[in-house]
Amino acid sequence: MYDYLVVGAGLYGAVFACEAKKAGKKVLVIDKREHIAGNVYTEKIEGINVHKYGAHIFHTNNKKVWDYIGQFAEFNRFTNSPIANYKGEIYSLPFNMFTFNKMWGITAPKDALKKINNQKEEITGTPKNLEEQAINLVGRDIYEKLIKGYTEKQWGRACNELPAFIIKRLPVRFTFDNNYFNALYQGIPIGGYTKVVSNMLEGTEVKLKTDYLENKTYFDSIARKIIYTGAVDAYFDYKFGPLMYRSVRFENEILNIQNFQGNAVVNYTDRETPWTRIIEHKWFEFGKDENGRDFPKTVISREYSSEWKIGNEPYYPVNDEANSRLYEKYKKLAEQESNVIFGGRLGEYRYYDMDEVIASALTAAERELK
Ligand code: UDP
137 lines ligand 1 (CB under 6 A): no
> Which atom of ligand 1 sits closest to the CA of residue 82?
8
In 3D space, the residue among 2, 4, 8 whose CA is nearest the CA of residue 207 turns out to be: 8
Q: Whose CA is nearest to atom 15 of ligand 1?
A: 151
146 lines ligand 1 (CB under 6 A): yes
Cβ proximity of 136 and 120 under 8 Å? yes
User: What are the mean pLDDT values of the chain's consecutive 10-residue runs (370 residues total)?
Assistant: 98 98 98 98 98 97 98 98 98 98 98 97 93 96 98 94 87 96 97 98 98 98 98 97 96 98 98 98 96 97 95 90 96 97 98 97 96
**Cα 167 to ligand 1 centroid, rounded to whole Å:** 7
Q: What is the pLDDT of residue 316?
A: 94
Query: Fold for domain 2-78+185-243+317-369?
Result: Rossmann fold (3.40.50)
Q: What is the pLDDT of residue 139?
A: 97
Question: What is the phi/psi pair of residue 83, to 5°?
Answer: -115, 145
Q: What is the pLDDT of residue 186?
A: 98
Handedness of CA 9, 13, 15, 20 (dihedral sign): negative
Q: What is the pLDDT of residue 319?
A: 83
Q: What is the pLDDT of residue 168?
A: 83
57 lines ligand 1 (CB under 6 A): no
- CB-count burial class (<10 Å; 0-12, 13-18, 19+) for 234: middle
In 3D space, the residue among 263, 344, 361 whose CA is nearest the CA of residue 39 turns out to be: 344
**Cα 51 to ligand 1 centroid, rounded to whole Å:** 18
Neighbours of 36 (CB within 10 A): 22
Cβ proximity of 365 and 19 under 8 Å? yes
**Residue 90 and residue 271: Cα distance in Å, rounded?**
15
150 lines ligand 1 (CB under 6 A): yes
**Cα 151 to ligand 1 centroid, rounded to whole Å:** 7
Strands of 277-280's sheet in order across:
89-92, 83-86, 265-268, 277-280, 298-307, 245-255, 316-317
Neighbours of 334 (CB within 10 A): 19
Amino acid symbol at 195: K
Domain boundaries, the chain: 2-78+185-243+317-369, 83-169
